[in-house]
Amino acid sequence: IETIPKETDMVLKVSQIEIEIEIEVNPPKGSGQILLRNLYLSCDPYMRGRMRNFHASYIPPFVPGQPLTGYGVSQVVNSDSPDFKPGDYVTGITGWEQYSLVRPTQQQHLRKIRPDDDIPLSFHLGLLGMPGFTAYAGFFEVCIPKKGEYVFISAASGAVGQLVGQLAKLHGCYVVGSAGTTQKVDLLKNKLGFNEAFNYKHEPNLDATLKRYFPQGIDIYFDNVGGDMLDAALGNMRVFGRVAACGMVSLHSLSDPQKLHNLYNLIPKRIKIQGFLQSDYLESFPRFLEHVTSYYRQGKIVYIEDMNEGLEIAPSALVGLFSGKNVGKQVIRVAHQ
Ligand code: NDP
């Protein structure tokens, strides 16, 4: 990259050169590091938040010039750690690159996984990974659901939402989801077993829409989007309703987030609204794995993945989360097993 003076402005000239370099990357003796061959990478909305230096964030920003990091599924190629051996499959934080040299610290969240014939390895980034656990912990620990309650979920066909809805159905709740395309609405109703679903982009008045789907009001709102949908849901909650503030994907790129007009409902309706991070509930992770794996094996739940091929596609797949391009959990296959 070079800067060229042009009249009063400097112009950036970017040239792209392809170079192939062969280097040996092995964990140095005594480093405790392991060399991973990355197989699958996960695209997650929280990664957008790491692209700005936001003081209130719970996770540090990405470092310019370094590969992005995120959840992945990888195979150990070489190891200087007594806990991992070549051939092991692991999931945890890795780099957006073909091979990563990592030290398995707590921040890396690395854990071994077993390849199963009936469960794709990539499911450890969705159904059996961080998004699945977010659904499980958010629904059971934050929403404290009761059988027969009325549950509304936004971004309902996504990595988190699709599992929240299915868990709520298994719990005996009445479940409605919103999504941004006709295809996603169809999946919610006909594949994921939601009672009802609607395309929020076709609904000019969200308050009226929610009144139509919940004439008796909403007991639980699992909020993945924030903004106007959160406002409309607040206006339609029942007395003692609960709102799990899981994510606000509609606000990620707005510098001036919209205001909420229906907050006053919190008091007369005694609504509880709680923001949460899945990492607050990690002691429940083994129970989650056992329950959800068993539901999946019994055919009680299904999981939709959007698998894209090749590392080069990863940036556009990540950006696509914010326009709803993904249908289900967005995963990138970097290499075959
Ligand atoms: P998804 O797989 O649901 O992908 C994001 C989806 O958000 C898109 O497909 C799109 O669906 C929807 N979307 C994008 N932009 C907008 C917008 N402007 N308005 C409304 N909807 C929009 O993502 P995840 O399931 O991985 O994540 C869902 C939410 O959960 C996110 O907010 C994420 O940040 C949060 N999260 C929170 C965690 C926690 O610990 N609290 C952990 C993991 C995730 P559509 O086409 O239906 O609009």
pLDDT tens digits, one per residue of 237-280: 999 999 999 999 998 766 666 788 999 999 999 999 999 999 99
Atom 42 of ligand 1, nearest CA residue: 134
First vs last Cα of the chain: how many Å apart? 37
In this predicted structure, the answer to whether residue 23 has a pLDDT above a threshold of 50 is: yes
Query: Which atom of ligand 1 is closest in space to residue 279's alpha carbon?
Result: 40
| Per-domain residue ranges of the chain | 23-126+305-333, 130-279
pLDDT at 17: 67
Q: What kind of architecture, by CATH, is found in domain 23-126+305-333?
A: Alpha-Beta Complex (3.90)
Q: Ligand 1: which of 47, 122, 160, 199 to mutate, most ligand atoms within 8 Å of CB?
A: 160
pLDDT at 302: 98
pLDDT band at residue 2 under the 50/70/90 scheme: very low
Atom 20 of ligand 1, nearest CA residue: 250
CB within 8 Å of 5: residues ≥ 6 apart: 11
Instruction: Give percent above pLDDT 70 in the chain.
Output: 91
Q: What CATH number is given for 130-279 in this structure?
A: 3.40.50.720
pLDDT at 15: 58
Average pLDDT over residues 123-135: 98
pLDDT at 104: 87
Average pLDDT over residues 217-240: 97
pLDDT at 184: 98
Range in 93-107, 183-197, 236-250, 263-277 the model is least confident about? 93-107
pTM, entire model: 0.93
User: 44 C-alpha to center of ligand 1: Å?
Assistant: 8
pLDDT band at residue 58 under the 50/70/90 scheme: confident
Query: Which atom of ligand 1 is closest in space to residue 137's alpha carbon?
Result: 40
User: 249 C-alpha to center of ligand 1: Å?
Assistant: 5
Average pLDDT over residues 221-250: 97
Question: What mean pLDDT, rounded, does the chain reach?
Answer: 92
Ligand 1 shell residues, CB under 6 Å: 44-46, 131, 134, 155, 157-161, 179-181, 184, 224-225, 246-250, 276-278, 321-322, 324, 326, 329
For residue 16, the Cα-to-chain-centroid distance in whole angstroms is 32
Buried b (16+ CB within 10 A) or exposed e, 254-263: eeeeeebebe
User: 45 C-alpha to center of ligand 1: Å?
Assistant: 6
Strand partners for 101: 35
Q: Which of 159, 152, 165 is nearest to 193 (CA)?
A: 165
pLDDT band at residue 109 under the 50/70/90 scheme: confident
pLDDT at 77: 96
pLDDT at 113: 96
Query: Which atom of ligand 1 is closest in space to residue 276's alpha carbon?
Result: 41
Range in 53-62, 73-82, 255-264 the model is least confident about? 53-62
Average pLDDT over residues 164-179: 98
d(CA 271, CA 60): 32
